[in-house]
Chain A
Amino acid sequence: MNRRVIAIAILCIGFAALAFGLSLGQHEIVRSWLQVFSDAYAPYFPQPLPP
């Protein structure tokens, strides 16, 4: 199959996935993802000592 056809097909799938994700409101998940990321690294960070 022509490479350009495959490229355009992949591009269409990508834009469809992006649009679908946005319509589902996944950008809010993406925004909160940093928090998930922080939680995953939480053991690496020191807990402040009690005063």
Chain B
Amino acid sequence: MSENDIEIPEETERFWVRIGRVFTRWKKILLEKSRPHKTLHYWVKKAFDELLAIHIIRFVVQLIAFLLLFYAGIVFVLGYDPLFSTIFSGVAYLIPIFGYIPMPFDMPQGIAQGTATGYFDMIQFIGQAGVFPYIAVGVIFIVPILVGRSFCGWICPFGFVQDLCSLTPIRTRYPSKNTDRQLSRIKYIILFITLFMVAWVGSWTFLGIEQGLVTTLGAFGTAFWAVLSPSGTFFVILPYLWIFGIISPILTQWNPLPIFWEPLMWIRIIFLAIIICIALFIRRPYCRWICPVGAMMGLVGQFSFLTVSRSATECLGPTCDRQRCKTACPVGIDVMERPFGKIYSPDCILCLDCVAKCGQDAIKVEYG
């Protein structure tokens, strides 16, 4: 370890603390700027080491995805998009494949729907409409094999919301392995029920006998899980409440909120609030225990070409004095307990926190 490296205390290892330390370090480096041995190569290398650190890149990517989806939610609620629809649709149609498959910038109103997780919603909407969603199923099979669940770790805006929650000063709790294992089953149960409902409603719709069933199921008859998804609540329902529940009545004396008496909306908001509260002291609770999209991507993604691996030659194992990897994982995977070599886990979201925190460079990313 060089003299410039700063050891971060285990208890205060929070993102903003790290950001602060990066700035402190840069200040120190800039003050030493006049030293003759600091060549251009030195400064370029420093810039890459600091600015391209994994957690900073991931934070920036997550922030961009979050802002895009937040904007998409506003657009969806307002019903029009004054900014991006014209610009990006024009660009998208210049490239043929984008004309066929909806992409994030192709469909500003459906940025989430242009991604892998959006295809899970499509499975529900199209499947329950009586059509087998070949394209959506294809994407759900292809994406996790090629890049694992990296979507969950790098793009998912609701994952980012949970990451932000875990940055608060509240002390992070680590549920026991048994509790974690038991609760992890919930997401597979939700996935099974969702796919069962898609098959049930879809087949009845295909046969033309769905009327009574769909009426009985109400909103769940259109898309079983999508009407409960906290991501939809956060990015659609909450902007709706802000715009039509607070801003619009103030501006126009309009009384636009009969929806306030809809029980489903309050169920969604309470569900979201519970998840946010849990995320304040447990990292990524929704991703590891509830999310059926993550469950499905994990089932396929455990065979992914993109994995994290633990080196047998460089890992010190139990003799390692830091063992940061034990608590690095936001979804509770204890890297130290895994066998050497590639780590196959349906829960791994490829956030690469374990790679960044290993002081021995023993954890690496592998493809193939």
Contact = CB atoms under 8 A, between A and B. Distances in A.
B65 interface: no
Given A33-B113, A41-B236, A46-B256, A6 B219 contact: no
A10 B305 CA distance: 12
Contact of A29 (B131, B256, B300): B131
Contacts of A33: 113, 122, 125-126
A30 B344 contact: no
Interface of B is mostly: helix
A6 B113 contact: no
A34 B304 contact: no
- For the complex, would chain A's binding face be called helix, strand, loop or mixed by DSSP majority? helix
Contacts of B138: 14-21
Interface string B94-120: 000000111000010110010000000
Interface in A13-51: 13-22, 24, 26-27, 29-31, 33-34, 36-41, 43-46, 49
A44 B136 CA distance: 26
B259 interface: yes
A27 B137 CA distance: 13
Interface string B54-86: 000000000000000000000011010000000
Given A18-B139, A26-B131, A30-B122, 4 more contacts: A18-B142, A26-B126, A27-B100, A43-B259
Interface of A: 3, 6-7, 10-11, 13-22, 24, 26-27, 29-31, 33-34, 36-41, 43-46, 49
Interface of B: 76-77, 79, 100-102, 107, 109-110, 113, 121-122, 125-126, 129, 131, 133-142, 145-146, 219, 222-223, 226-227, 236-237, 240, 244, 254, 256-259, 262, 265, 300, 303-305, 344
26 contacts: A6-B303, A11-B146, A14-B138, A14-B139, A14-B142, A17-B137, A19-B138, A20-B134, A21-B134, A21-B135, A26-B131, A29-B126, A30-B122, A33-B126, A34-B107, A34-B110, A36-B222, A40-B219, A41-B236, A44-B236, A44-B259, A44-B262, A46-B244, A46-B256, A46-B259, A49-B254
